[in-house]
Amino acid sequence: MTEKILKDLELVEVAYDDTKATLTFIDRDAGEVREVNFNKKVYDRENNKWISNDEKAQKVEEQVQEFFNTSFDKLNDAVGTKHDIYAYDTFNSMQHIDQVEKFKKEQNGKVYQDVVVKEIFDDGIAIRIRYDIDGNTYETKYTYAKYMEATKEWFPNPQEKTKKYKKFKDTFGVLFEENDSIIGKEIMVKVNNAFGKFYYGEIMQLG
């Protein structure tokens, strides 16, 4: 995932759709527009819809105040101001976003040593272990949920979750609930492939 910082782009339009605001910036040098979205709602995977969330709404208000010195409902007051935009492959942002790189074919079979664990969390779909290699963030996933194509939803599998939590303990020597003790530790990561086309990092051991 690439990141490009676009300097001093002018905000030319603000469009509202319920609790979502789409801000359009113009990049005159490139002859392009860039859109940044602020949405006060969160997506409910179980019911496949956007729902109100007080915490998200408060966070959006704080971000708008920080970046535009105004409120969410008065973003039109910021039209004409210039801002730096962080452009990624599929979206734009007002700030840097940590992106997770995917392992590539040319990395297959490589073993990376002294890799430092930077983040561990469970997002309801998988246990995610993140670490940096050559300045880029990668992750190893212990996935326990199944994606249902018919409904476009993820559903946790309780038996699979138990297995993945055991795998975490077997790999790191601690329960998932004690994962804070792993942050900053060194691990060894080997790049493997599945089905000849999907490349992933297998955590071999603690350093």
Strand partners for 128 = 121, 141
What 42-48 contacts at long range (C-beta under 8 Å, 24+ apart), as own/partner pairs, is 45/124, 45/153, 45/154, 46/153, 48/151, 48/152, 48/153
- The mean pLDDT values, 10 residues at a time, for the chain of 207 residues are 88 96 96 96 76 89 96 97 92 86 92 93 92 91 88 86 95 94 94 88 79
Closest CA to 114 of 97, 134, 84: 134
99 within domain boundaries = no
Cα–Cα distance list, 140 to 1, 30, 179 (Å): 17, 37, 14
Note the pLDDT of residue 117: 94
Cα–Cα distance list, 7 to 34, 60, 68, 82, 202 (Å): 12, 22, 16, 8, 39
Domain housing 134: 105-206
Note the pLDDT of residue 206: 65
Phi-psi region of 48 (alpha: psi -120 to 50; beta: other; left: phi over 0): left
Tell me 132's DSSP state: E
The letter for the amino acid at 26 is I
Note the pLDDT of residue 46: 65
Shared domain for 78 and 134, answered yes or no, is: no
Note the pLDDT of residue 135: 85
Report d(CA 128, CA 192) in Å as an integer: 17
Shared domain for 31 and 87, answered yes or no, is: yes
Shared domain for 114 and 196, answered yes or no, is: yes
Note the pLDDT of residue 62: 96
The letter for the amino acid at 78 is A
Check which CATH number belongs to the domain holding 168 and give it: 2.40.50
Note the pLDDT of residue 136: 87
Query: Hey, what are 33's tokens?
Result: 């527009």
Quick: pLDDT tens for 1-26.
Answer: 578 999 999 999 999 999 999 999 99
Query: Hey, what are 95's tokens?
Result: 């700030």
CB-neighbour burial class of residue 159 (10 A; exposed 0-12, middle 13-18, buried 19+): exposed
Question: Could you give the number of structural domains in the chain?
Answer: 2
Shared domain for 76 and 111, answered yes or no, is: no
Note the pLDDT of residue 100: 85
Cα–Cα distance list, 173 to 25, 48, 142, 169 (Å): 49, 37, 16, 5
